Structure 1
Amino acid sequence: MSRPLALMLTLAVLALAGPALAAPPPGLDARVDGLLSTFGTPGLAVVIVENGRITHAKGYGVRRLGFPERIDKDTIFPTASTGKAFTVAALATLVDEGKIAWDDKVIDRLPGFQMYDPWVTREMTIRDLLVHRSGLGLGAGDLLFVPSSNLSRAESVRRLRYIKPATSFRSGYAYDNVLYMVAGQLIEAVTGQTWETYVREHVLKPAGMLDSTSDDADRFRNPNRAWPHGRLDGPIRGLGTQVALDERNGLGSNAAPAGGLAISAADMGRWLMIQLAHGKLPEGDGRLFSEDASREMWTPQTLQPINPRPASLAESGPQFLSYALGWEVRDWRGHKIIWHAGADIGFGAVVVLIPEKNVGFSILMNAEDGVPTIGLMYELLDYYLGYPKADWPSRLGAYKKIQINAALEALKANTVPTLSGAKPPLALETYAGDYVDPWYGPISLRVEGGRLLIDFKQSPGMVGELEYYQFNTFKAVWRDKQIEPAYLTFSLSPEGKVDRIRLKAVSPLADFSYDYQDLDFTPVTPAG
């Protein structure tokens, strides 16, 4: 056989075999192990797909500190807000079947739905539920499920009518979770199945994601699950000793459509392949959703503001930043990427797609240390887009220290030394009583053993002691150290009785889901 003919045959075979696969970054295992050691993170899992195949799926570290079980590719992790894209996929299946349309009015599909403004109630579409332009403030209403809740999803959705908007409808971007609860309730109204059941039967199972779960009961039945970890004994959350947290003390299931899935690295690989294939299943014999639905998912809807970054992180700044349907769309060094991050109590996750390279990857972590996750994400982006390696975790870690030091200084500046023996201006019994906020609901304050105690009655375990701070302000120190401390300020009527309680998070770095500032408690008027 002549050399030209042999070369032509070789090229033909390669063409039939499909695009060549690039190896994962050299030394990836050692790099991940080094990050776990440097940052004191218990473990994580990484999956990478390219050209329709999983090229790397592996776990690192341990599922739970103090126990020997290792993380592997089948260990499931709560993936928080990365699950929003799955709720969108569930809606997409209904769009494909002609049962709903993206621009249907919510009130036509979910009778009884109501926002604070009647005009917004009439005009809000299914698309509006998904793209963070409702006019609600950042994280508004999240205390309906943070840190936990005994409310049903239907009742949580009903209470949205009491949350006042921060801006006008469709005028800007503010991230929320509560409207994804509405999307989940809408799925139930249209199909007769709960969000949990519909997502399991119409998204996870058809996608072949058989280890993944949509409810806590299934998650806790899986012995190969990661455990949450956090740092709670420092001056602010995120500083101190890494410890295992109570895994049953997570976010309320009423908010599961906003991020209630638990997924393994192997299953996430299938999700990445389906997304990159625009809805086509990996085996090539069917679809999860249509190409039209895929196009809708990735089409930018709401512009996000781009905040300036320090010089050390300038290269990571986007030229454009937007939110689509359950995904963020931005650029990395001029290349479009589709991605989303997620943070839950004790967990973190990122899911990233690079469409032009037909590459996707996900990083799942069983701790709240965001630096190694985002740092590794940036390194993988650089690798697959052909840029020189940069030590992003070190850069991000240095900037994080600056942020923490600034927060500690602010906390110190706002701390008023309480004089020995200082007492509140009124007897503790004056502050005690039952109070209610229009959207959150009831709290109870009582005096017990000479201490003023507080109970957020619809958030199980959100009980603590009010320590006197200054004037008519107290600091809530929760028995559950996972919960962010808060200041409570009592205002008085001319008669010297409490007529209002306002709250504020103590930590300058408190997660926005602790939206204490949106609460406005007033005394419960006795019946009769």
Structure 2
Amino acid sequence: MPSIRLAPFVVAVCHLAFAVPVLGAPPEDFSSRVDGLLDELGVPGATVAIVEDGSVTMAKGFGVRSLENPMAVDADTIFATGSTGKAFTTAALAILVDRGVIKWDDRVIDHMPDFRMWDAWVTREMTIRDLLVHRSGLGLGAGDLLFVPRSDLSRKETMRRLRHIKPATSFRSGYAYDNVLYMVAGQLVEEVTGDTWETFVQENIFDVLGMNNSTVSDQALVSSTNRARPHARLNGAIRGMGDQVPLDETSAIAPNAAPAGGLAISANDMTHWLQAQLGRGKMPGGERQLFSGEQSAQMWTPAVLLPNSPPPESLAAAHPMFRTYALGWTVQDYRGAKLVWHGGAVFGSLAVVALLPDQNVGFYVAVNSEEGQMVRGLLYELLDHYLGYPEEQWPEKLHEFKTGRQVAAAAAVQAQLAPADDAPVTKPSLALAGYTGDYNDPWYGTISIRDEDGALVVDFPHSLGLSATLEHVRYNTFITHFNDPGMEPAYLTFNLDASGQVSRITAQAVSPIADFSFDYQDLLFTPVSAK
């Protein structure tokens, strides 16, 4: 999620060097380092797990579960893990491959006859592997608004709407991260087993590994008495700036998108997952396999080359020579070592799971806020420590870079909303009644625009109570003020036909660094009824 996730704070890692033997324990001052960063960056709580050579060397909580109810985080506190859960979905499929139920290169339509993409040829050719490696031709984050911030759509209905999403590129021609096809992969688990994705993951992964505190759904997460509540900064110039506040937990990832990132996991439980991954499917104790070594190799085999833009000079030492995407994992180099990892983000929570297979060490870091510089920074510091490199102060460097991006984005938004001195004063072309009515986008569905006491209000029926008041900006463009403060503001532009009637509505995010899950630019609404 993702998005269904807020995009994790990205900057990957690498340097020309030979990997050196790992050290046998976490940094001596690591716990105090985490505590210090919580204070410095204003993060409520964090959790960390480290496994090396099959042994747990750290499973610990830091800070508090919620600013409103500051109970301490412990090693059993569950944190939302976002898209790190994609690896669990691929593991579920790997188990089914081991059982002979499916093959990675089976055509999706052979198991789900109702599956359709925009292009009939793509529908016929798309394989299970294609669902998992972000090369479908869909644009970045396409379809995420089907479950952001929440939805009443079933997984099957969400899948049915894929046929209306236009591709951005040709099939298998390049990489563009998506969540909706992992949702399809979750539906496929149900189609071939008769069990929901949630039931299958619970019974065949969580229960088998002894992950007894972790949850597979939002309902189970909210019911847990030992959970980290998500937090975000929403009252600044753009999202990510302002005061840290707890979020409404009912606004987390929607159930239909859970296979793309709906798990919540504790540090203690994550150690079992790290052990199984580092053991190539062999479970702790070495007597049973969660999935075979053959499927472990499949899941870590690169399928798509990722873009690899040059970083800022301050982060050059953290840049890889190559990045690839495998089945639910990113595979790249880190200072000469092989790194298998995945970030995760949902509203108010961030996480990362990373493995150094050749050094037999793995990490899990999560926070209950949106300070990605802490998650990624701590990961880099752990990688450097276990590979024998000097400390680089990564959280501080990433924080400086992130702050610079936010300041620039906030200035851009202010410039958009503050017209130049010589700009003409404009008014809407129509009276408010001229904009009201129902409008439909084929994949997203129908919205309703009404005049409420002299102001335009938009209702989003499938998003369970989501609405927005429209404020005029210029000409026929309005800005949304959502009743959910976690939603990124959007511009809605009404286009008129020759008779002066609204012919379509287009949208775009206000912030230039809005998370890609707010894929407003993919929407195209047209009238469905007379006003």
Q: Give the corresponding residue for 1:483.
A: 487
Is 1:26 matched up with 2:28? yes
Q: Give the corresponding residue for 1:293.
A: 295
Q: 1:235 to 1:21 in 2, by over 3 A?
A: closer
Q: Check whether the contact 1:336–1:354 (CA below 8 A) recurs between aligned residues.
A: yes
Aligned equivalents of 1:138, 1:471: Cα separation in 2: 29
Other structure's SS at 2:443 match: coil
Q: Which moved more, 1:293-302 or 1:458-467?
A: 458-467
Shift of 1:420: 12
Deviations 1:476-497 (A, max 9, x none): 1101111110000000011100
Aligned equivalents of 2:220, 2:488: Cα separation in 1: 28
Q: Give the corresponding residue for 2:475.
A: 471
Q: Give the corresponding residue for 2:309.
A: 307
Is 1:93 matched up with 2:98? no
Aligned equivalents of 1:406, 1:370: Cα separation in 2: 18
Aligned equivalents of 1:20, 1:125: Cα separation in 2: 39
Is 1:222 matched up with 2:230? no
Of 501, 520, 523, the match for 2:524? 520
Aligned equivalents of 2:450, 2:360: Cα separation in 1: 59
Aligned equivalents of 1:394, 1:162: Cα separation in 2: 44
Residue type of the alignment partner of 2:301: T
Of 315, 318, 321, the match for 1:316? 318
Aligned equivalents of 1:470, 1:68: Cα separation in 2: 45
Q: Give the corresponding residue for 1:46.
A: 48
Is 1:425 matched up with 2:436? no
Is 1:35 matched up with 2:37? yes
Shift of 1:423: 3.6
Is 1:338 matched up with 2:340? yes
Shift of 1:248: 1.1
Q: Give the corresponding residue for 1:412.
A: 414
Of 431, 446, 449, the match for 1:445? 449
Aligned equivalents of 1:293, 1:526: Cα separation in 2: 56
Q: Which moved more, 1:416-425 or 1:130-139?
A: 416-425
Other structure's SS at 2:463 match: coil
Residue type of the alignment partner of 1:180: Y
Other structure's SS at 2:43 match: coil
Of 257, 268, 271, the match for 2:259? 257
Q: Check whether the contact 1:436–1:524 (CA below 8 A) recurs between aligned residues.
A: yes
Shift of 1:394: 1.1
Residue correspondence of structure 1 range 134-145 to structure 2 within 5 A: 134-145=136-147
Shift of 1:461: 3.0
Residue type of the alignment partner of 1:498: V
Other structure's SS at 2:373 match: helix
Aligned equivalents of 1:266, 1:194: Cα separation in 2: 26
Aligned equivalents of 2:396, 2:221: Cα separation in 1: 34
Structure 2 unmatched runs, 5+:
1-20
Of 115, 119, 144, the match for 2:117? 115
Other structure's SS at 2:492 match: strand
Residue type of the alignment partner of 2:384: D
Is 1:500 matched up with 2:504? yes
Other structure's SS at 2:317 match: helix
Aligned equivalents of 1:476, 1:316: Cα separation in 2: 38
Q: Which moved more, 1:73-82 or 1:416-425?
A: 416-425
Q: Check whether the contact 1:228–1:367 (CA below 8 A) recurs between aligned residues.
A: yes
Shift of 1:518: 0.1
Q: Give the corresponding residue for 2:179.
A: 177
Give me the TM-score of the superposition, normalised by structure 1. Answer: 0.94
Deviations 1:182-226 (A, max 9, x none): 101111000001111111011111111111111122222210001
Q: Check whether the contact 1:462–1:483 (CA below 8 A) recurs between aligned residues.
A: no
Shift of 1:402: 1.6
Deviations 1:334-359 (A, max 9, x none): 21100000010110000000011100
Cα RMSD over matched residues? 1.6
Identity %: 59
Other structure's SS at 2:181 match: helix
Other structure's SS at 2:362 match: strand
Deviations 1:398-444 (A, max 9, x none): 11122112212221222244999964221000000000001000100
Shift of 1:68: 2.9
Give me the TM-score of the superposition, normalised by structure 2. Answer: 0.94
Q: Give the corresponding residue for 2:8.
A: none
Q: Give the corresponding residue for 1:159.
A: 161
Shift of 1:509: 1.3
Aligned equivalents of 1:226, 1:41: Cα separation in 2: 12
Residue correspondence of structure 1 range 391-406 to structure 2 within 5 A: 391-406=393-408
Deviations 1:34-73 (A, max 9, x none): 0000000001000000000110010000000032310011
Q: Give the corresponding residue for 1:14.
A: none
- Relative contact order, higher structure (CA 8 A, sep 6+): 2
